[in-house]
Structure 1
Amino acid sequence: MRQRITFVHEPQDGIDPKSIGIHTNTLSVSGLKAAREDQITLSLAELPQELRVALSQTKEVHIRYVTAAPYESIPPFNSQLSPGLHAYYTPKTEIGKEGQEFSDLLCGLLDTLFDIKDKSLCQTPEISFTTLPSKTAQRTSTSYEYYLRSSQLTSGDASALRTYATRICQSTSCRSRADEAATASSVDLDYSSSSGVARITTFWSPRTWDGVAVSKMDHADRVELGVLSNEKPIRPDDLNMSGFLTVLGESEKPAPTMFQFPSRHHKHPAKFRTSFIEPTGLHPTLQLSIDNSHPPKDRQDCKLQAHLTLPRSIFPDKYQFRDSLYLASKNLTALHHVTLPVDLEAPEYTMSLWGSSALIELAPPSSPSSDSWTAEIPLHLRYLLPSESGYRTTSLPAPVLFWACEAGEE
C-alpha cells in the first residue's frame, strides 16, 4: 500500500518545516491551515473480495461521493462535481456480450458501498445508466454514467462518506485512513485495468489541522507527506508550487522542493447563487445569479459553462435551446450536451434511467464588469408518484459553473 498525504496552503499560512515530526514509523504535522488530499494506492489483492472480483472484470471504474455541504477549493484541487454519488464505468467489451459479468455486479457493488434506499434505482448499467459521448470515432467501448442524490442513500452525508471509504478498504492501515473521511468534502475510487491498481482519494477543504499523524502499518508500506504552497507562476496557465516533501523511513528531515506544471483547472473569484423563479409549476426555471462577468485573466476566448446533473424527476428539453432569440432572452448561448435519450412525456415513476446531465453555455454581459447578472435555464418537471397527502417534493443538486478557455499552443 502506498499513502500520499498532501497539504496545500496559502503563502501566508506557511509553517516551519521543523514542526513536521519524523519518527521511526510515523510522520506528524500540526497547526497547519490548509486543504488536504490523501491518496491511497492499492493492488487488487489488497481490496475486499467482492470489490476485487468486480474490478478485475472491468476496464475502468470511477466512483465519487461529494458532500452536500458547501466547501472552498484551492489550486490544484479546483475540479468539482455536483453533490451526491457519481459513477462512471467502461466495460472491457460492450454490455450484453459474453464476458460482461461485471455489468450485473456493478449495482450490487454500489449498494454495498453506499446502502441505496430503493434498490430498483440501480438494476444494471444497461437499464439504469446513461451513455457518455465518445471522444473519438475510434473508441471501441462505450462508457456509462450514473448518479444518485445523497437523500437516496440510507445513511446521511457524513455517514455515507465514512461508509464508502471504509468498505473500500480491507487492511487495518487503509481503514485507519478511511475513518477520517466523515469530515471530508469528497471521496473517490478510481480503477483502470491498464494500471491494475485502485486509488482512493479523499479531499478536505481548507481548515486548521491541530494534529495529523500518519503511520506505517506494514513494513512494505510507502508513506509520503507534502506540505506545499501556491506561488506566483511564471506562465499564466501554469501552477507553481513550493514547500517540503518527506518520505517515511527515507527522509531525515523535510526536503525543500519547487516545481511548476500546466493545469487545466484554475480558481475564479466569482460566486453564484441558485433559485427557482416562483411560481415553479411543471416548468420550473432555474435562475443563476452570478456576482461578476469578468472572464479569467481577461481572456476573451473563454466561455462560461453550467454543468447540470438532473435527477430523473427533472429534465431539459433540447428543442427549447434551438431558438437563438429565446436563448438570448435568458442570457444563454447554446446547449452543448444533454444525455440522450430524454423521454419528454414519461412520468418519473416509470423511468428506469437515473436522470440526465446537461452542459449549457451562458451569455455574460458583452462588457465585463463587477456587476451581478442572471441567467435562466428552462427545465421541466415529470409527474411524480401520487401520494395520500397530494404532495411530493423533489430537488436537484447545485450545478457546477466554470469558464472553459482555449488551450494554448505550448
Structure 2
Amino acid sequence: MRERITYLQKLGSSLPPSALTITPTSLTGPSVSAIREERLTFALDELPAELSSILKNDVHELHVRWVNPVAYESVGAMVARVPGGWHLFWTPVLGKESQKEGGRGARLCEVLGGVFGVACGGEESFTKLPSERFYHSAALQYFQPLEGLGRFVEYAKGKLCAEEDGDCVRRVDALAEASALDVSYDSISHALKVTALWAFQEQEIRATARPNVRTEVGVLSDEKTATMEDHELGVSGLLTVLGQDEKPSATVFSFPSRHRDAGSGFEAEFVQVGLHPVLQLKLGSNKPPVEEAACATHAYFTFPRTIFADRYQLSDDLFLASKNLTALRYISQPVDLEAPEYVMKTWGSAALLELKPPAMDDGKAEESWTAEVPLHLRYLTPSHGGYANLEVPYPAVFWACNAEEGTKFPTNPFERVNLGYDGLFGPRTVFWHVEPRPVSGGRVTSSIRVPVLDLDKAGWVNVGTAAVVLLGFAWISWKLLSVYLKTGYGSESRGSRTSETRDDKKRQ
C-alpha cells in the first residue's frame, strides 16, 4: 500500500519548513487554508475478498466518481468536476468465462451496493459510451444521486480498519465530510486507487505513518514561473516521506494539465414547470479563457430517469439558436421517450450540449448571459399528496479549447480522468471549468415540484373510471339494440318478410 497526502494552497500562500514538526511516524503543522487530498493505492491482495474477486474476474477498467451535491471551492490543478452524485464508468472483461456466466453487471452491482449503498441492478441499467471513438473512454456508464458516503465509511471501517486502530477509524470517519471521492482500477496495473478530496477551507496539517505503508506528505501552493508553458500548471512547497526524511524538502515543478479554472461561475434553475420544464443556465461571462485557441462552451448533464432531453427537439437549428444553444453533441442511448419512470431499467441519460454565448466584439466588455435547455418529465410513481419534489444535479459547464499542435498531456500528479465528457473530446482538448454556484442555500442542484397521481384520490379515480366504462358499454349496447329493431330484424319483420316471399313465389 502507498499513501499520498497533499495540502494545496492558493497562489501566494506558503509555509516555512520550520513550521512543520516531523517525527519518524508523524507530521504536524499549523492550520492553513487549503484543499486536502488523500490517495491510497492498494494491491488486489490487500482488498476484501469479494471486492478483489470481482475486480480480477469481471473488470477491465472501473472508475467511481462521487461528488457532494453541496457547493465547494476548488483550487488550481484540482478544479475538474462532474455533476453531483455517484458515477460509475466500467469496461467489462470480454473473456470466455464472463460471457458464459453472464450477469457481470449484476455481480458488480451487488458488490458495489454493499460498498456504497447504491442499487444499479444489472448490466441492463447501464448506458453505453462511445468508447470506440477515443481510447480513454470506458464502455459503460451508470449514475445515481447519492447524498453522502455513510455506507462507504461503515464498509471501510469494518473491512480495512482493525478494532484497536483508532487512527484508521478517525481517518475513515473524516470521509463523511469529503467533497469528492474517486476510485479507479485497471487490469494492467492491478492496483486500486482511492482518492478523497476535502474542499478549500481552514484545516490543520496532520499526517500519521502506518506500518509497511509508504506515506508521502506535500504542503504545496499554486505557482507561476517564467519557464512555464501556456498549457502547464505549477506548484511549489515542501515534500516529506514519513519514516525516511528528517526534514522537508523544498520543491517546485510544473506539469501539463487538461483541466483549468475559467475564473467565472454559473447558476442553474427551472424557469418553466409542468411536464415540459425548462432549465435555465446563467453564466457569468461570455469571454473565452484564451484568445489564441478555438474555444466552445459546453454543458454536460447527467439526468436521472425522471427527466430527459429529446434529441429530436434539439436537432432544430432555429430552435436551438433561440435558446442560445449551438448543438446537441452527444446523448446516451437508448432514451425511451414514452416510458414512465417506474418501468425504466436504465439509470437515465447523459447529454453534452454546446452553448452559444454572445459574441465578444472588439473593445466590448464581457457580459453575463443565459441559455435555456428544454426538458421533459416522465410519468412518476403515484404518491400521497399529488406532488413530488425532484432534484436535478447541476451540469458540468466548461470551455473546451484546442491546444497547440504537438501539445501532449501525460498524466500529472493531480490528473482526474474518465469523467464522462472527457472521452467525448480529442486528447489535445483543454477544459476550462466554470464554477457551479447555488441559486440559494448551498446545494448545486435544481429543484422542481411536479404533479403525480394522488394516491389519496386514486380510489375515486378507479370508481369513476369503472362507472364511465359501464355507462359507455350500456350506451353502445342500447344503440346496437335500437339499430337492430329499427332495421327490420325483429320477430314481426321476419314473419312479414317470409309471407311476402311466399306470395312472390306463387305469382311466378
- Aligned to 1:260, what secondary structure does the other structure show? strand
Aligned position for 1:222 = 214
1:21 aligns with 2:17: no
Contact 2:238–2:250 under 8 Å retained in 1:
yes
Aligned position for 1:162 = 153
Report the number of matched residues: 396
Distance change (3 Å), C-alpha of 1:295 and 1:160: farther
- Residue by residue, what CA displacement relative to the aligned partner does 1:180-207 show, whole Å, maximum 9, x if unpaired? 1111101121111110111110001111
Distance change (3 Å), C-alpha of 1:244 and 1:100: farther
Contact 1:5–1:38 under 8 Å retained in 2:
yes
Contact 2:67–2:82 under 8 Å retained in 1:
yes
Aligned partner of 1:362 among 339, 343, 355: 355
Distance change (3 Å), C-alpha of 1:84 and 1:166: farther
Which whole-Å CA distance do the structure 2 matches of 1:285 and 1:165 have between them?
Answer: 41
TM-score, L = length of structure 2: 0.74
Distance change (3 Å), C-alpha of 1:138 and 1:196: closer
Contact 1:94–1:100 under 8 Å retained in 2:
no
Alignment of 1:144-293 (within 5 A): 144-150=140-146, 157=148, 159-160=150-151, 162-163=153-154, 166=157, 169=160, 172=165, 175-210=169-204, 212-218=205-211, 220-233=212-225, 234-278=228-272, 280-293=273-286
Aligned position for 1:75 = 76
Aligned partner of 2:394 among 391, 398, 405: 398
Q: 1:84 Cα deviation (Å)?
A: 0.9
Which whole-Å CA distance do the structure 2 matches of 1:179 and 1:69 have between them?
Answer: 19
Q: 1:107 Cα deviation (Å)?
A: 1.1
- Aligned to 1:201, what secondary structure does the other structure show? strand
Which whole-Å CA distance do the structure 2 matches of 1:222 and 1:377 have between them?
Answer: 49
Contact 1:84–1:148 under 8 Å retained in 2:
yes
- Residue by residue, what CA displacement relative to the aligned partner does 1:244-287 show, whole Å, maximum 9, x if unpaired? 11111221211111111110000011111111113x11111110
1:4 aligns with 2:4: yes
Which whole-Å CA distance do the structure 2 matches of 1:365 and 1:356 have between them?
Answer: 28
Aligned partner of 1:106 among 97, 105, 108: 108
Which whole-Å CA distance do the structure 1 matches of 2:183 and 2:12 have between them?
Answer: 33
Distance change (3 Å), C-alpha of 1:124 and 1:162: same
1:375 aligns with 2:371: yes
Distance change (3 Å), C-alpha of 1:344 and 1:56: same
Distance change (3 Å), C-alpha of 1:166 and 1:287: farther
Contact 1:44–1:196 under 8 Å retained in 2:
yes
- Residue by residue, what CA displacement relative to the aligned partner does 1:280-331 show, whole Å, maximum 9, x if unpaired? 1111111001111111133451111000010011011111121111111100
Which whole-Å CA distance do the structure 2 matches of 1:142 and 1:66 have between them?
Answer: 19
Distance change (3 Å), C-alpha of 1:325 and 1:378: same
Contact 2:61–2:138 under 8 Å retained in 1:
no
Q: 1:370 Cα deviation (Å)?
A: 2.7
Distance change (3 Å), C-alpha of 1:288 and 1:68: same
Which whole-Å CA distance do the structure 1 matches of 2:331 and 2:102 have between them?
Answer: 27
Q: 1:216 Cα deviation (Å)?
A: 2.3
Which whole-Å CA distance do the structure 1 matches of 2:182 and 2:129 have between them?
Answer: 19
TM-score, L = length of structure 1: 0.91
Which whole-Å CA distance do the structure 2 matches of 1:348 and 1:272 have between them?
Answer: 29
Aligned position for 1:153 = none
Which whole-Å CA distance do the structure 1 matches of 2:233 and 2:95 have between them?
Answer: 39
Which whole-Å CA distance do the structure 1 matches of 2:26 and 2:245 have between them?
Answer: 12
- Aligned to 2:238, what secondary structure does the other structure show? strand
Which whole-Å CA distance do the structure 1 matches of 2:347 and 2:139 have between them?
Answer: 15
Which whole-Å CA distance do the structure 1 matches of 2:375 and 2:269 have between them?
Answer: 13
Q: 1:69 Cα deviation (Å)?
A: 0.9
Which whole-Å CA distance do the structure 1 matches of 2:356 and 2:100 have between them?
Answer: 47
Which whole-Å CA distance do the structure 2 matches of 1:44 and 1:100 have between them?
Answer: 23
Which whole-Å CA distance do the structure 1 matches of 2:76 and 2:35 have between them?
Answer: 9
Aligned position for 2:93 = 92
Contact 1:161–1:186 under 8 Å retained in 2:
no
Aligned position for 2:131 = 134
Which whole-Å CA distance do the structure 2 matches of 1:396 and 1:169 have between them?
Answer: 34
Q: Which amino acid aligns with 2:384?
A: E
The share of aligned pairs that are identical, in percent, is 40
Deviates more, 1:165-174 or 1:346-355: 165-174
Where structure 1 has 5 or more consecutive residues not aligned to the other structure, the ranges are 151-155
Contact 1:91–1:100 under 8 Å retained in 2:
no
Distance change (3 Å), C-alpha of 1:271 and 1:205: same
- Residue by residue, what CA displacement relative to the aligned partner does 1:126-160 show, whole Å, maximum 9, x if unpaired? x1111111244899x9711111112xxxxx53635
Query: Which one has a larger percent helix, Structure 1 or Structure 2?
Result: 2
- Aligned to 1:266, what secondary structure does the other structure show? strand
Contact 2:231–2:403 under 8 Å retained in 1:
no
Q: Which amino acid aligns with 1:231?
A: E
Q: Which amino acid aligns with 1:340?
A: Q
Aligned position for 1:52 = 52
